[in-house]
Amino acid sequence: MEFFKSTLNIDFMGKRVWMAGFSVVTIIISLVSLSTQWLNLGLDFTGGTLIEVRYPHSVELPGVRRTLATAGFPQAVVQHLGSARDVLVRVPPHGKESSADLSNQVLAALQKEAGAKLDLKRVEFVGPQVGSELAEKGGLAMLYALLGILVYVALRFEWRLSLGAVLATVHDTIFTLGFFSVFRIPFNLTVLAAVLAVIGYSLNDTIVVFDRIRENFRRMRKADTVEVMNSAINQTLSRTIMTSLLTMLVVVTLFFLGGEVVHGFSIALIVGICIGTFSSIYVASPLAMWLGVSRADLMPVRKEMTEADRRP
Amino acid sequence: MINRYPLWKYLLILGVLLVGTLYALPNLYGQDPAVQISSTRGEPVTAQIRDKAVAVLEKANVRYKSVTEHDGRLLIRFHDSEAQLRARDLLEVALGSDYVVALNLAPSTPAWLRAINARPMYLGLDLRGGVHFLMSVDMRTAIKQALERHVGDLRTLLRDKRIRYLDVSRAKDAIEMRFRDARDLDRARALIAQKEPNLVLSTPSGQGGFFLRAVLSPQDLTKIRDFAVQQNITTLRNRINELGVTEPIIQQQGRDRIVVELPGVQDTARAKEIIGATATLEFHLVDEEHSVADAVSTGHVPPGDRIYYDRQHRPILLLRRVIITGDQITDASSGLDQQSGQPAVFITLDGRGARIMEDTTAKNIGRRMAVVFIENKVTTHMKNGKPVRVTRRVEQVINVAVIRDRFGRRFQITGLDSPQEARNLALLLRAGALAAPMQIIEERTIGPSLGQANIRQGFEAVVVGFVVVLVFMAVYYRAFGLMADLALFFNLVLVVALLSLLQATLTMPGIAGIVLTVGMAVDANVLIYERIREELRNGNTPQASIHAGYEKAFSTIADANITTLIAAVVLFGFGTGPVKGFAVTLSLGILTSMFTAIMGTRAITNLLYGGRRVKRLSI
């Protein structure tokens, strides 16, 4: 079974200006959104308290809010999670008291009102100092990952290709973050982990294409850069789509079956895989071309200095 | 010859798969509901207790599976959780407060697997339920205490050597000494430099009078910090032992942080009470002569007295003088008062405390004595966008009792609300005051029901994702797809085996990592197979195509995987808890997939096609 005919020869590079336009527009949207409203940072980074409880019966939210307001938490955000019996309470860190005791007080207040023992499903409390620390470390982790990859790719490829690959990866990272920013999806630690995985994955795709470009430059002596890149993208297209599709299938499975904990995680990967596939075709190669990669740069370096030459 | 592996390669692959399967095996066995008995004092459980426990269970007709000893703790396994719960209730009553009876789930790994050290994966808190705390030790207080100690020492030292001083006191992060004249100052400086080499001395200029300033040396500060963290860890360990948690983790993190993980703890409120509070007791006499109502209404407190409040917020007038404090308590245990049958706390004092207590009670029979419970609660407020920590001292009269008789070394407090409260009080007293107050700066609690749900959902996601990929590969690449499927299956087995072997923590994001590697692991095979197809299209023979496909795809696969590995390693370095789990499974998955997808499938391909005349490939 095959999805693509072997004779396939789509002129990907010919559409590069259009696609570059698309990339530039989405990146600008992402950057504008990130700079104006930043990310909807979750509790991991902002600090605060989150309590998830399950009632033995379905419960009305206004009542719960009233209970919490009288117990001294007027700023608490209350919502249903999954069913009418599950309630999620968030208390922002700006509250007067944000010690670890707070979750106990909230639970006690809810239990008193409900007159029954509630099933405590989850409590998360992150102190303000821990939150800002995690945010800082998270940003650094992203930088280090990009840096490490830059170094590796620079060692393996010619610098124009490696710069193209890393820029494409940065493009994907900004797009994914922008997606979370525009749609206000909560950004927590696991999402950050997924973004790092996207960095690895997106590069993975680009490298496969670049490997082929390098190979084709050496093989297709007559062809110009555009032809070489087009052929490389076409030859690897089947693999690119197949792998993306399979990875997408499992990530979508994770989205639907993995439960609430990995929701953001799977969204980040779904977005990241889509954009990563796009960028490995339409962003990375044109970038390398605009940077001026040519056949001469990729020819194997012949050892011209022999032992005999070195002898005085 | 082309496409043939030497025998040792086959054997190597077979060996790895065999060992992998063996170590992955324990995960297939379930868990037994069990009850764990440990001594509150950390001593090993004796054979006597073992016999007693067995006798209790047999008398009540509770059927158990086995009784084993492990690290000085007794583990009794049951067939169902009903028996487990009944046994817990029975044993708790029978063994008293000297032993902790805790519910536990014990892996039912068969003995022959345990013999080769094969264990099931270590599940993280988000999968098994439990509490994770990150605590921060308040170093400012630790240093303050150290300085206070030095103040006392210096006064004694100066007095002993008859050096007259006007004042010795602590001022923020230093000790300031004031002298009458330059001679005294010089003598003091020489003396302190000799006797207390850890203090860094200086004479502040620009101030009238003869001042000497002493600060702690950097080495000393480091020592105090380390000591404060260590002592807190020890105290925490004691307290947590008494909570009866089966596999607690208490570790230092960074310079002044402590991580506490308590799997299976459900009552987090109680855990927090016990862990978070630095508590001590003071014994005061009640002022029987003055009226407390007058003192409260007029605000005129008789000299030497202070108004305290009890738990119902009723005021009570106590003498300021402290009889003894919690430091002088050497042991405390809970139980039932023999006469009234009420819950009680039995307290044992050290020599000095006992002497003072004896004197005081002998003179005051018939008067009342109050026990004041003092707790240091730390809260964080946001002030100008910055967290500010405030330590609150909460003082509460928890017990007032008439002194019936002269107290000895050992006495008891009654009048507590419940056996539970007696237990908690005894626990707090025994664990003693902490060296420096700690504050919980992060908490993550996962209830057992959510942990179960996470395991189920994670498992389903892995299975469904796995099956989808299997079917897809088989349809798309036919025979070669099936080979890749086999490799994928063993990849999963190897990841599980490695996780079990390393006892790395499996978390929910970790499971997500496994799902992700299922998708990414086939990438290697997709790369190889696409290459083989291409070679075939170019008119190469099947054998040459297989060879070239594997050969040419290899460097691409390596490059692609190494970049992902770099991201995973960074993640591991950054990671806390669950995220680290993701990094671990992702890296392991990548490494094992290289083995199974390249070597594994190649071995099968070689076995099937190698050295044979093949007309066409099923790809």
Optimal mutation site among A110, A242, A252, interface B, most CBs of chain B within 10 A: A242
Token code pair at residue B311: 């738990």
Share of chain B above pLDDT 70, in %: 89
Is A3 inside any structural domain? no
Give the residue numbers spanning the domain of A121: 48-126
Q: In this structure, what DSSP letter does residue B409 have?
A: S
Is the pLDDT at A311 greater than 60? The verdict is no
Q: Which of A93, A103, A265 is opposite residue B382, by nearest beta carbon?
A: A93
Optimal mutation site among B257, B440, B441, interface A, most CBs of chain A within 10 A: B441
Q: What pTM does this model have?
A: 0.77
SS3 B91: helix
B537 touches B606 (CB < 8 A):
no
One domain, residues A143 and A113:
no
Per-residue pLDDT, averaged over A125-141, amounts to 85
d(CA B303, CA B287): 11
Q: What number of other Cβ atoms are within 10 A of residue A249's Cβ?
A: 18
CATH number, domain at A94? Answer: 3.30.70.3400
d(CA B396, CA B313): 9
pLDDT at res. B18:
94
Could you report the per-residue pLDDT of B126-175, keeping only the tens digit for each? 888 888 888 888 888 778 877 876 787 788 788 888 888 888 888 888 88
Q: In this structure, what DSSP letter does residue A187 have?
A: B
Domains contained in chain A, number: 2
Token code pair at residue B128: 């098994």
Is the pLDDT at A273 greater than 90? The verdict is yes
One domain, residues B418 and B470:
no
One domain, residues A78 and A198:
no
Out of A17-21, A23-27, B132-136, B354-358, the most confident range is A23-27
Beta bridge partners of B371: B283, B399
Partners of B571 on chain A (C-beta within 8 Å) are 141, 145, 193, 196-197
Chain B: closest CA distance from residue A198 (Å): 9
- Counting beta carbons within 10 angstroms of the beta carbon of residue B520, is it exposed (0 to 12), middle (13 to 18) or buried (19 or more)? buried
Chain A: closest CA distance from residue B179 (Å): 43
pLDDT at res. B379:
53
Is A241 inside any structural domain? yes
CB contact under 8 A, B447 and A121: yes
Per-residue pLDDT, averaged over B486-494, amounts to 93
One domain, residues B423 and B486:
no
Partners of B582 on chain A (C-beta within 8 Å) are 190, 193, 197
B569 contacts: CB under 8 Å, gap ≥ 6: A148, B583, B587
Could you report the per-residue pLDDT of B69-90, keeping only the tens digit for each? 877 788 899 988 888 888 888 8
Q: CA of A270: which chain B residue's CA is closest?
A: B516
Q: What number of other Cβ atoms are within 10 A of residue A21's Cβ?
A: 10
CB contact under 8 A, A261 and B574: no
Per-residue pLDDT, averaged over B336-344, amounts to 82
B106 contacts: CB under 8 Å, gap ≥ 6: B31, B32, B34, B75, B77
d(CA B493, CA B485): 12
Q: Which of A144, A203, A246 is opposite residue B469, by nearest beta carbon?
A: A246
A240 contacts: CB under 8 Å, gap ≥ 6: A205, A208, A209, A277, A280, A281
Is B303 inside any structural domain? yes
CB contact under 8 A, B457 and A257: yes
One domain, residues B478 and B605:
yes
pLDDT at res. A4:
66
One domain, residues A149 and A282:
yes
One domain, residues A202 and A64:
no
The one-letter amino acid code at A127 reads G
Could you report the per-residue pLDDT of B573-617, keeping only the tens digit for each? 876 666 788 889 999 999 999 899 888 999 999 988 887 787 778
One domain, residues A156 and A174:
yes
Partners of B518 on chain A (C-beta within 8 Å) are 250
Give the orientation angle of helix A16-37 with respect to helix A263-282, to 10 degrees. Answer: 150
Q: CA of A169: which chain B residue's CA is closest?
A: B563
Is B510 inside any structural domain? yes
Count interface pairs A-B at CB distance under 8 A. Answer: 253
The one-letter amino acid code at A193 reads A
CB contact under 8 A, B522 and A262: no
CB contact under 8 A, A250 and B134: no
One domain, residues B291 and B411:
yes
d(CA B552, CA A110): 64
Q: Which of A197, A247, A248 is opposite residue B586, by nearest beta carbon?
A: A197
One domain, residues A137 and A219:
yes
Q: Which of B443, B468, B559 is opposite residue A207, by nearest beta carbon?
A: B559
pLDDT at res. B495:
94
**Residue at which a domain ends, from B395, B421, B445:** B445
Q: Name the nearest CA neighbour of A186 among A275, A106, A277, A81.
A: A81
Is A72 inside any structural domain? yes
CATH number, domain at A225? Answer: 1.20.1640.10
CA torsion, ordered B574, B579, B584, B589, to nearest 10 deg: -120
Give the orientation angle of helix A189-219 with respect to helix A263-282, to 10 degrees. Answer: 20
Per-residue pLDDT, averaged over A282-302, amounts to 78
Is B255 inside any structural domain? no
One domain, residues B557 and B535:
yes
Partners of B563 on chain A (C-beta within 8 Å) are 149, 152-153, 200, 203-204, 207
CB contact under 8 A, B576 and A189: yes
One domain, residues A151 and A292:
yes
pLDDT at res. B206:
65
Partners of A247 on chain B (C-beta within 8 Å) are 516, 519-520, 523
One domain, residues A206 and A249:
yes
Q: CA of A208: which chain B residue's CA is closest?
A: B556
CB contact under 8 A, A190 and B571: no
3-state secondary structure B216-231: ECHHHHHHHHHHHHHH
Is the pLDDT at A139 greater than 70? The verdict is yes
CB contact under 8 A, A246 and B582: no
One domain, residues B216 and B154:
yes
Q: For chain A, how many helices (H) and strands (E)? A: 12, 4
SS3 B614: coil
pLDDT at res. B577:
65
pLDDT at res. B580:
84
Q: CA of B474: which chain A residue's CA is closest?
A: A1
Per-residue pLDDT, averaged over B222-249, amounts to 76
Label residue A105 by pLDDT band (50, 70, 90).
confident
Q: Which of B449, B519, B566 is opposite residue A251, by nearest beta carbon?
A: B519
Label residue B41 by pLDDT band (50, 70, 90).
low
Partners of B130 on chain A (C-beta within 8 Å) are none
Token code pair at residue A214: 């390098």
Label residue A129 by pLDDT band (50, 70, 90).
confident
CB contact under 8 A, A125 and B440: yes
Query: Which residue's structure tokens are 């020890």?
Result: B234
Partners of A238 on chain B (C-beta within 8 Å) are 530
ipTM of the complex: 0.85
d(CA B571, CA B550): 31
Label residue B474 by pLDDT band (50, 70, 90).
very high
Is B115 inside any structural domain? no
Is B302 inside any structural domain? yes
- Find how far residue B328's CA is from the centre of its chain: 28
One domain, residues B396 and B530:
no
Is the pLDDT at B433 greater than 50? The verdict is no
SS3 B113: helix
- Find how far residue B298's CA is from the centre of its chain: 50
Partners of B573 on chain A (C-beta within 8 Å) are 141, 144
Total count of residues recorded for chain B: 619
3-state secondary structure B247-272: CCEEEEECCCEEEEEEECCCCHHHHH
CB contact under 8 A, B272 and A189: no
B374 touches B394 (CB < 8 A):
yes
| Separation in Å, CA A239 to CA A233, B55, B343, B525 | 10, 67, 73, 10
**Residue at which a domain ends, from B445, B463, B479:** B445
Partners of B380 on chain A (C-beta within 8 Å) are 98-99, 127-128
B72 touches B49 (CB < 8 A):
no
d(CA B531, CA B545): 8
Contacts made by residues B464-469, CB under 8 angstroms, sequence distance 24+: B464/A253, B464/A257, B465/A249, B465/A250, B465/A253, B465/A254, B465/B515, B465/B518, B465/B519, B466/A250, B466/B492, B466/B518, B468/A249, B468/A250, B468/A253, B469/A246, B469/A249, B469/A250, B469/B518, B469/B519, B469/B522
Q: What angle do CA A38, A42, A47 make, to 5 degrees?
A: 110
Q: What number of other Cβ atoms are within 10 A of residue B8's Cβ?
A: 9
d(CA A75, CA A207): 49
Q: CA of B514: which chain A residue's CA is closest?
A: A250
Q: What sign for the dihedral angle of Cα B487, B490, B495, B498?
A: negative
Work out the mean pLDDT of chain B and round it to a whole number. Answer: 83
d(CA A174, CA A284): 15
One domain, residues B353 and B304:
yes
Partners of B515 on chain A (C-beta within 8 Å) are 250-251, 253-254, 258
Is B80 inside any structural domain? yes
Backbone angles phi, psi at B211, to 5 degrees: -105, 145
Q: CA of A44: which chain B residue's CA is closest?
A: B442
Share of chain B above pLDDT 90, in %: 14
Backbone angles phi, psi at A111, to 5 degrees: -65, -35
One domain, residues A178 and A98:
no
pLDDT at res. B427:
64
CB contact under 8 A, A243 and B523: yes
Is A294 inside any structural domain? yes
Is A62 inside any structural domain? yes
CB contact under 8 A, A127 and B387: yes
Chain A: closest CA distance from residue B487 (Å): 16
B550 touches B598 (CB < 8 A):
yes
pLDDT at res. B330:
65
One domain, residues B436 and B478:
no
Is A304 inside any structural domain? no
Token code pair at residue A127: 């102190």
Per-residue pLDDT, averaged over A160-173, amounts to 89
Is the pLDDT at B466 greater than 80? The verdict is yes
pLDDT at res. B470:
93
Per-residue pLDDT, averaged over A29-56, amounts to 89
Is the pLDDT at B40 greater than 80? The verdict is no
Is B256 inside any structural domain? no
Per-residue pLDDT, averaged over B243-247, amounts to 72
One domain, residues A114 and A138:
no
| CB burial readout A199-216, b (16+ within 10 A) else e | bbbbbbbbbbbbbbbbbb
First to last CA, chain B: 22
**Residue at which a domain ends, from B200, B221, B242:** B221
CB contact under 8 A, A122 and B445: yes
Chain A: closest CA distance from residue B608 (Å): 21
d(CA B619, CA B602): 14
Q: What number of other Cβ atoms are within 10 A of residue A34's Cβ?
A: 16
Chain B: closest CA distance from residue A153 (Å): 8
One domain, residues B46 and B11:
no
A184 contacts: CB under 8 Å, gap ≥ 6: A37, A40
B126 contacts: CB under 8 Å, gap ≥ 6: A261, B444, B446, B450, B451, B454, B507, B508, B578
One domain, residues A74 and A199:
no
Q: Which of B126, B269, B454 is opposite residue A104, by nearest beta carbon?
A: B269
pLDDT at res. B138:
83
Domains contained in chain B, number: 4
Give the residue numbers spanning the domain of B47: 30-108
DSSP one-letter string for B452-471? HHHHHHHHHHHHHHHHHHHH
One domain, residues A101 and A71:
yes
CATH number, domain at B176? Answer: 3.10.28
| Better pLDDT: A15 or B488 | B488
Query: Which residue's structure tokens are 């999963």?
Result: B492
Is A192 inside any structural domain? yes
Is B232 inside any structural domain? no
One domain, residues B213 and B281:
no
Q: What number of other Cβ atoms are within 10 A of residue A301's Cβ?
A: 5
One domain, residues B304 and B390:
yes
d(CA B139, CA B154): 22
Optimal mutation site among B138, B579, B586, interface A, most CBs of chain A within 10 A: B579
3-state secondary structure B7-73: HHHHHHHHHHHHHHHHHHHHHHCCEEEEEEEEECCCCCCCHHHHHHHHHHHHHCCCCCCEEEEECCE
Range scoring the smallest mean pLDDT among A213-222, B200-209, B441-450: B200-209
A251 touches B515 (CB < 8 A):
yes
- Find how far residue A191's CA is from the centre of its chain: 7
**In this structure, are strands B122-123 and B505-506 parallel, antiparallel, or unpaired?**
parallel
Optimal mutation site among B485, B523, B554, interface A, most CBs of chain A within 10 A: B523
Is A187 inside any structural domain? yes
